[in-house]
Amino acid sequence: MVSITILAGSVLLLGLLAASIRVVRQYERAVVFRLGKLKAERGPGLFPLVPLADNMVRVDMRVRELDVPKQTVISRDNVTLEVDAVIYYKVTSASKAIVEVEDFEAATLLLAQTTLRDILGQNELDTILSDRDDLNQRIKEILDFTTEPWGMHVVMVTMRDVSLPENMLRAIARQAEAEREKRARIILAEGELQASRMMNEAADMYENKPSALKLREFQTLNEIAKEKNLIVVSTGERDGHWASDLPCLMGLARAAADK
């Protein structure tokens, strides 16, 4: 009878000893409460607990991601869009994360949704689409400042997708098309201006050097002959100089350029 009592006591003692030993991984911390009162922050490694008196809560200290679901946002210029984001954060103080807030992950998620709507609502659509890095940084700073008393640090915030209504997509496409048409017209006008200036300079040169004009006429006839067309060319000599129709044409070109 005595041996059974000793055996039972030994088993109970071993059970309490096993229950009092805890192992915490390298990326974890243990927040220990003794009779409901915060005792210490333990880990990583092996440490004992007082049976029936100590209670332990594990906290992951690694960088974790928080997926913010799509939020309907009205921009400053009254455009409705849907935005979702991803938040990367880590716990810097396990004790504060457990004691200061009931559920630090849920609280951070709700805070991120509110901050996302507030920040984007203060900007116009063009700013949201073009300055996403600056907006991400502003949201990160606000979240980091607010969650610091909770023992947390927001590492990065990034807007993953910005969804626009179909009518806004069509309007943006029309705007881009109009911008490209504008650039094409400007390039064409600049080309016409440069061509008219060069034609004016060529007319001056041909007027001062008739021999250059005659060479140009021969070159033009040679280029036309390559096409194997039947062309009747009338040339003659007038006052010791070769007559040609090209001076008349160049004069008309120069007059058009001067206008």
Which of 30-44, 203-217, 231-245 has the least mean pLDDT? 231-245
Q: Provide mean pLDDT across the span 29-52.
A: 87
Which of 5-14, 91-100, 188-197, 235-244 has the least mean pLDDT? 235-244
Q: Provide mean pLDDT across the span 159-170.
A: 79
The per-residue pLDDT for 1 is: 52
Q: How far apart are CA 187 and CA 184, in angstroms?
A: 5
- Give Cα separations from 237 to 209, 218, 220, 240, 243 (angstroms): 16, 15, 19, 6, 5
pLDDT confidence band for 256 (50 / 70 / 90): very low
- pLDDT averaged over the chain? 80
Q: How far apart are CA 54 and CA 44, in angstroms?
A: 17
Domain architecture of the chain: domains with CATH: 2-58 (no CATH), 64-164 (3.30.479.30), 173-258 (no CATH)
> With a threshold of 0.85, does the pTM exceed it?
no
**What DSSP state is assigned to residue 88?**
E
Q: How far apart are CA 254 and CA 206, in angstroms?
A: 11
Instruction: Give the tens place of pLDDT for each residue, 221-253.
Output: 666 666 665 555 555 555 545 455 555 555 544
Instruction: Give the tens place of pLDDT for each residue, 62-104.
Output: 999 999 988 888 888 888 888 999 999 999 999 999 999 989 9
CB atoms within 10 A of CB 241: 11
